Structure 1
């Protein structure tokens, strides 16, 4: 289970951050907790819209992708800090990632009250129109006299406090499961994807037939694309075009890139299509994604792209067992974002990770447990994403 914890203070030293870090460490066997810092978020000002800045879009995306949110708030003048209130304003102005999201409130303070009044105000804020979070009722965790609560290893000292914190977190996990059952699968409400690339985006190379077998050659000539030993400055490196090709070709997986206009622009060509885990042919590069799939698969393609475009999921994974028992093949559809946090397309990477598993088992002396799905450990029932199957590549798709 994936949770995010919002540090409700912009201070360099914060006991509420310490509390979340303790939860992250102590309860890692129950869930994965990622901490979100708010100290660099600008003050809310509706006349200076910062919604699309990388920091706010990053918080937006992480909350959307999480199963639940834990907010740790201090108490300043009987209420929550101004910095936390400002963040919540941004998250309810033009974006609404907390809507119908399970939220648990905790807090630490120097005195006996343990941020009780701040927590009460925070509940009211989270229930407001535009926020509309699903706050777990009751079960307040109020850590008072926090200066004496942690030992030198930053662990809580009092066993009863630890036990109570564990019980509250257990209830929150069950609360998330109940909410998830009531809400059903995450289905973005969006316009259907234009899988035929009828429109253009800033990086579209116009004037070249997207279905042409020699699209790469025509498009390269059209834009005077560099090649060979021409240097390219990357965000953390300088490589020649040849070096970039060598680097991508050395990846122990099949990589495909489709842009946010749903145009298939690249794959790391290292072997012929019939030898690949997901068949691709050089003549397909440049095609709209609709050309890369049978008609019956387009519904699944649309579903996967909208999961990624909307932020409902950051990565959709599909286990493909048709390659035989000697392979553990997973298709991964990873959302790509630009520097401003905007959706920029899909990185599909496909690999047989059985050699990695075999190597790891040999190194550690461990074995796979018989009778379970060797890849995921899950039951053999088909997930939604599995039923949609291969959504971006040209591999066959059945429904």
Structure 2
């Protein structure tokens, strides 16, 4: 019979994992549960519920540092930061709607465990670049900590880089120190209308190589713009290539004006101001355009930006494909009909040819059990992954098999 362990603090987390190690009992780690549908399905009888490890422990706006429990809701953190005109610069995605949950259910720890990174990643990096330190309990039932509440703190192994993106397979995190940054005063978006994938990649490349400090670059094809909540995007009737500029008011206005002039040769140019810009980039961040229909698989594909147009064009040939791109063409979100049984092999072959990798973010349990969710690793990398897992969790106690079969 399935059972749940719900520790109240870090000491009880250590005791729970020690019990699991002693009894050879694998554990499913869960915080707020919004990301349980990510990764391979696996069967365990006992859940380690970390939801009690929630709440902001310390916040020093002047020092740009926040400390919180792993299950602290992202909505709570974002509200607190907004009150102080600050933000998490890595722009953590809220994938709950895409995965079939209610919006804003995600936690800080969950964002770190998937190494979340939104549209600003091309400028500010992903979650691992903003994690200053953490405390955790390994699969050996040993408490440890790494990093500290300062930016320059790394000596020896940079464990914050290792723990981010580990999907709870290495340790149960009990406390998190994260870097925060000031929010921009204004957020404008320059739009180029009517471009195809190849033209969009060239326009985004020109913008990113300009002197205007573009913080995000995305392309939404015409067949998806009608799903936008931003009226101008929804009624455009054409594809939208979007370039975000943010900062102090006069600087944003000047840089937008100059970027519009530089991109005029690509086609019709328009501009979104702060409120509409914020709404649009939330849609891009949270993959709003591919939420429905829920039964259709969704892939997250990372390729060199210069290859983005070719990969998008090839994937567009698959029956029923819908896609949009972020990160100046380097990130492609792809939706395919559930009825297309051969699609996974075609996706992986296309992405392999471009030197990228593809992750199956949403699919049924049966599909995620049959198809590798994460891109298959070359033998040397797979061997390294096994050694890292064995170092932290030699008895395969924590989320066994969630990322790769047998690991």
- Which one has the bigger strand percentage? 2
- Greater RCO, 1 or 2 (C-alpha within 8 Å, sep 6+): 2
Larger Cα-atom Rg:
1
TM over 0.5: no
TM-score by length of 1: 0.25
